[in-house]
Structure 1
Amino acid sequence: MSQARNNWTVKSILCILVFMGALPTTAKGRLTRQRIVTAALQVVAENGASGASLDEVGARAPASRSQLYHYFDDKNDLLRAVAEATNETVLDAQEELFAGLGTWAGFERWADALVELQRQRGGVGGCPIANLLGQIGERDDDIRGVLGSGFDRWESRIREGLTAMAKSGELQPETDVTWLAGSTLASLQGGLVLAQARRDPEALRRALDGALALIGAYRVR
């Protein structure tokens, strides 16, 4: 795995778009690469990873076949870029909510916002990271690792919030925040799968209510 993919925590669009090979040295090159990744995200969302063709990506970008191979070694290389961009899209969308996870009220707001999003979508879509993992994670270890890092970052933000609650005295000092964060993310992902399968947003509501109840068991009354 390249050094660029190891540095996914840097909040810069330039670093987000570095997955394999060298970073384009010109603004035009960086914009072209970004445009290709954006087009690939759309094509994969509509057709799935296996049904996403380079020709369709190039037509939508628009970019020539030579430009595609200038910025990406092959289709798998482009899909790694899609995996990185998917992580960023999902996590950046929650950034404001993550910032409030240092309080019980912040956890409730985070859970309510995720449920409301599923209600607006009618349970359609699920978790984009998990969806992509199911499509290509088992056949490409590099892409699986990229998507796994997205879950690691997600869990880390939850853990940071729980740690802040423990430090402020809102949670019992002996609370195992690492275990609790992992359990919370697992509940979230399970709820998203059931909501997607059943087209029932309340499946996520029940899963997150269970996660909140578990966190609540460690609150200082």
Structure 2
Amino acid sequence: MTTANSPNGRRLTARGAKTRARIVSSAADLMFIQGVSATTLDEVLAASGASKSQLYHHFNGKEELVRAVVELVGQRVMERERDALGNVSTIRGLRRWRDALVQNNAVRHGAYGCALGSLASEVSDHDDLAREALAQLFAEWQGLLADVLRRLQDTGRLPSDASIEQLATGLMAALQGGYVLAQTARDVAPMVTSIDMALAHIESLSPR
């Protein structure tokens, strides 16, 4: 029978790995909608169809489960962003990236914000391991934006003395701030405005 190592060092059978993945996926979905604090282990058990003994076989408690959720959500977000940004080399491409994020958020009227941002706001003050994992994920996301801006610079669309890291930080801040404003307003319009202002600034630096 196929086995694999779990993050806590336990050996998992294929069935065990599937059960663990189902628990983490169910917890991630619930925590995205309800928040980490409001999501109970009993709710996770009900949503995943797992037993209490199965949950505690894979996780020592809620804190460990939340860390697994951070890992899963990070994988989902970064896979999406790598696909979306990996070949972008124009302002138009960045606007298409913006459009896709806004349209996805509009489906929920901005209700739940950014999956990573929502986790960060709840766990960063309580769990250093989760905070560090989230910091690495945000750094990777910002790095993808910086790579796009370097490509713009390499093709002459940004001046050679433009500060790529500062621009990437500003664009990431505009994105995350836009998510928060959309979440509180239940309207994606503030998200559109904040990202567009950042993109307009970047475009204004282009040599005329």
Give your verdict on TM over 0.5: yes
Query: Equivalent of 1:210, from 167, 191, 197?
Result: 197
Instruction: Decide whether the 8 Å contact of 1:102 with 1:162 is kept in 2.
Output: yes
Distance between the aligned counterparts of 2:114 and 2:34, measured in 1? 16
Aligned to 2:126: 139
Once superposed, what is the RMSD of the aligned Cα atoms? Answer: 2.1
Aligned length: 205
**Superposed, which structure 2 residues align to 1:63-212 within 5 Å?**
63-212=50-199
Instruction: Decide whether the 8 Å contact of 1:100 with 1:107 is kept in 2.
Output: no
Q: Which string of whole-angstrom CA distances, capped at 9 and with x for unpartnered residues, describes residues 41-91 of structure 1? A: 123234321232223222322222222122112210000011111222223
Instruction: Decide whether the 8 Å contact of 1:24 with 1:30 is kept in 2.
Output: no
Moved beyond 4 Å, runs of 4+: none
What SS does the corresponding residue of 1:21 show, helix, strand or coil? coil
Distance between the aligned counterparts of 1:110 and 1:90, measured in 2? 13
- Tell me, which stretches of 5 or more residues in structure 2 are unaligned? none
Distance between the aligned counterparts of 1:113 and 1:59, measured in 2? 33
Instruction: Decide whether the 8 Å contact of 2:157 with 2:207 is kept in 1.
Output: yes
Distance between the aligned counterparts of 2:182 and 2:34, measured in 1? 21
Distance between the aligned counterparts of 2:159 and 2:176, measured in 1? 26
Distance between the aligned counterparts of 1:25 and 1:118, measured in 2? 36
Give me the TM-score of the superposition, normalised by structure 1. Answer: 0.84
Instruction: Decide whether the 8 Å contact of 1:158 with 1:181 is kept in 2.
Output: yes
Distance between the aligned counterparts of 2:33 and 2:195, measured in 1? 28
Distance between the aligned counterparts of 1:133 and 1:98, measured in 2? 22
Q: Which string of whole-angstrom CA distances, capped at 9 and with x for unpartnered residues, describes residues 118-158 of structure 1? A: 33322222111111222222111111112222211110110
Distance between the aligned counterparts of 1:112 and 1:59, measured in 2? 36
Give me the TM-score of the superposition, normalised by structure 2. Answer: 0.89
Distance between the aligned counterparts of 2:83 and 2:135, measured in 1? 22
Counterpart residue type for residue 56 of structure 2: Y
Instruction: Decide whether the 8 Å contact of 2:32 with 2:112 is kept in 1.
Output: no
More divergent stretch after superposition (75-84 vs 117-126): 117-126
Distance between the aligned counterparts of 1:45 and 1:119, measured in 2? 16
